[in-house]
């Protein structure tokens, strides 16, 4: 009778120990697997592409001076018509040409200034060209001396009067550039995995950087450099 009771008491203890051992093994496996999943490598993939600008904004300004405002304004209107004729001769239409504000300065009305003011009125006329044909703008601006021969001195040296070249078709480039950046990042990650005697696993996380558009160089503002950097984290597998 005593031996039977002892046998009954040992069996549950054995089963309990076996269960605890199994749980311990499973926990150990889970911890090892979790540690393995923690092994990652983070790399950056760069994609760059050079493209021509697809839009140009050309500010045009000239100044007229005189003592009689009516005469000055008449001269400004005449010169504006001459500039428009010049632009149309180079292929621009009415939709591309805009007449801006005309600024008038009366030197004698200035509160502070020298007594000898020279010509009283200084009138600056502003115009602009907005075109989706930058090459046409480049060609016309290179012929600006034709206006100088007509007595129209177009301001072009100041920052505000420089031609601005834009690239507006970024959305067309995004898919292929993101693909290129991702491919470059994977190449770097694969090399790292090989050097560390590991195998590259799946992507853990990915962050696409901002696209940037800049001039290729200061002498070629009509050529643009589009750039994006993607940051990707991969798992490493033994």
**Token digits of residue 133:** 């044909």
Mean pLDDT of 52-80: 95
Instruction: Give the model's confidence band at 63: pLDDT under 50 very low, under 70 low, under 90 confident, else very high.
Output: very high
The pLDDT of residue 28: 44
Q: pTM for the complete prediction?
A: 0.76
Mean pLDDT of 99-106: 92
Q: How do residues 14-44 score in pLDDT, each as one tens digit?
A: 555 555 555 444 444 444 444 455 688 899 9
- The distance between the two most distant Cα atoms of the chain, rounded to a whole number of Å, is 134
Alpha helices, H only, 53-149: 69-89, 134-142, 145-148
Instruction: Decide which of 36 and 204 is more confident.
Output: 204
DSSP state for residue 151 in the 8-state scheme: T
Cβ 59 vs Cβ 126: under 8 Å: yes
Cβ 80 vs Cβ 125: under 8 Å: yes
SS3 3: helix
Q: How do residues 127-180 score in pLDDT, each as one tens digit?
A: 999 999 999 999 999 999 999 999 999 876 666 779 999 999 999 999 999 999
- Containing H/E element for 104? strand 97-106
The pLDDT of residue 109: 79
- Cα–Cα distance between 55 and 174 in angstroms, integer? 19
The pLDDT of residue 115: 60
Give the CA angle between residues 66, 71, 75 to the nearest 5°.
90
DSSP state for residue 56 in the 8-state scheme: E
The pLDDT of residue 81: 96
Give the CA angle between residues 91, 217, 158 to the nearest 5°.
65
Position 46 pLDDT exceeds 90: yes
Residue 177 neighbours by CB under 8 Å, 6+ apart:
47, 49, 211, 226, 228
Position 91 pLDDT exceeds 90: yes
- Name residue, tokens 């597998």: 237
């Amino acid at each position: 009778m005593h031996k039977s009771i002892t046998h009954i008491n040992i069996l549950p203890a054995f089963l309990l120990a076996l269960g605890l051992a199994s749980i311990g093994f499973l926990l150990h496996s889970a911890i090892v697997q979790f540690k393995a999943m923690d092994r990652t490598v983070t790399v950056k993939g760069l994609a760059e592409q050079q493209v021509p600008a697809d839009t140009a904004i050309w500010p045009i300004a000239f100044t007229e001076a005189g003592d009689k405002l009516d005469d000055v304004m008449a001269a400004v209107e005449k010169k504006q018509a001459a500039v428009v004729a010049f632009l149309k001769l180079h292929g621009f239409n009415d939709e591309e040409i805009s007449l801006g504000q005309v600024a008038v300065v009366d030197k004698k009305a200035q509160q502070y200034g020298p007594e000898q003011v020279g010509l009283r009125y200084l009138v600056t006329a502003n115009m602009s060209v907005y075109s989706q044909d930058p090459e046409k703008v480049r060609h016309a601006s290179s012929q600006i001396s034709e206006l100088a021969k007509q007595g129209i001195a177009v301001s072009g040296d100041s920052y505000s009067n420089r031609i601005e070249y834009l690239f507006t078709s970024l959305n067309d480039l995004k898919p292929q550039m993101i693909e290129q950046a991702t491919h470059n990042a994977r190449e770097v990650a694969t090399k790292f995995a090989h050097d560390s005697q590991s195998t590259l696993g799946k992507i853990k996380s990915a962050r696409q950087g901002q696209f940037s558009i800049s001039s290729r160089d200061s002498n070629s503002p009509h050529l643009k450099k589009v750039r994006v950097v993607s940051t990707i984290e991969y798992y490493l597998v033994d």
